[in-house]
């Protein structure tokens, strides 16, 4: 069992410790990310109908966040605040430097039902908007992904490309903001 894990260059093995940081980042993208991307691309099997469901953005955002956190750890970034800044910058295009309470809201929740319902609707829209900011497949993949049946395969290739760009953007952010190379 140990030989098989070492041959697969799994984290924690001797082969893993012998890999440089770029090889370990590639491992996270091309092994973990490639498997996660199957779940991201699955709604594409429904064609244009699958694109109407917010599931793909949610799962895609989650997959990219997992890989970005792994990239951060490979570069020695284990502080949660720094990881959150990285995720916000790469996935949501937000700069959290000095951002205390981005919406200026006092944190109070409306007490009557109609206002609460409107508040929740706005909150869910805002969440959807943030999920949609993540790096996405290039345009050609988005259009071809609308085709029924082959949409899942096209979405897979497009989402994998977006994941690779996400990991590179994460590495760039770490180098620019935390002085790592």
pLDDT at 82: 94
pLDDT at 63: 93
Whether the Cβ atoms of residue 55 and residue 62 lie closer than 8 Å to each other: no
* Residue of 98, 157, 94, 97 whose CA lies nearest to 129: 94
Burial-class residue 42 by CB neighbours within 10 Å (0-12, 13-18, 19+): middle
Pair of tokens at residue 28: 């996270």
Angle (CA) 16-19-20 rounded to 5° is: 135
pLDDT at 51: 65
CA–CA separation, 180 vs 71, rounded Å?
A: 12
Residue with tokens 């030989």: 3
Whether the Cβ atoms of residue 66 and residue 36 lie closer than 8 Å to each other: yes
Pair of tokens at residue 130: 């943030």
CA–CA separation, 67 vs 27, rounded Å?
A: 10
Is pTM, for the whole model, over 0.85? no
Q: What is the chain's alpha carbon radius of gyration, rounded to the nearest angstrom? A: 19
Task: Give, for all 181 residues of the chain, the pLDDT tens digit.
Answer: 888 887 888 888 888 889 999 999 999 999 999 999 988 888 777 766 766 767 888 889 999 999 999 999 999 999 999 999 999 999 999 888 765 444 545 455 656 777 777 877 888 888 888 888 898 888 888 778 777 778 888 888 999 999 999 999 999 999 998 875 4
Whether the Cβ atoms of residue 74 and residue 24 lie closer than 8 Å to each other: yes
* Alpha-carbon separation of residue 7 from 12, 14, 19, 20, 125 (angstroms): 12, 9, 12, 16, 46
């Amino acid at each position: 069992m140990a030989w098989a894990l070492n041959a697969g260059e799994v984290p924690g093995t001797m082969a893993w410790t012998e890999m440089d940081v770029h090889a370990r980042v590639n491992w996270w993208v091309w092994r973990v990310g490639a498997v996660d991307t199957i779940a991201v691309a699955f709604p594409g099997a429904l064609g244009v109908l699958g694109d109407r469901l917010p599931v793909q953005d949610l799962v895609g955002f989650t997959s990219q966040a997992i890989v970005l956190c792994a990239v951060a750890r490979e570069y020695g970034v284990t502080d949660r605040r720094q990881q959150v800044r990285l995720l916000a910058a790469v996935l949501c295009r937000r700069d959290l430097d000095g951002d205390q309470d981005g919406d200026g809201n006092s944190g109070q929740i409306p007490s009557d039902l109609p206002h609460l319902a409107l508040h929740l609707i706005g909150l869910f829209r805002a969440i959807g908007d943030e999920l949609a900011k993540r790096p996405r497949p290039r345009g050609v993949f988005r259009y071809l992904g609308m085709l029924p049946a082959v949409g899942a395969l096209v979405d897979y290739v497009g989402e994998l490309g977006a994941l690779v760009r996400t990991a590179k953007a994460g590495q760039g952010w770490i180098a620019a903001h935390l002085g790592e190379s």
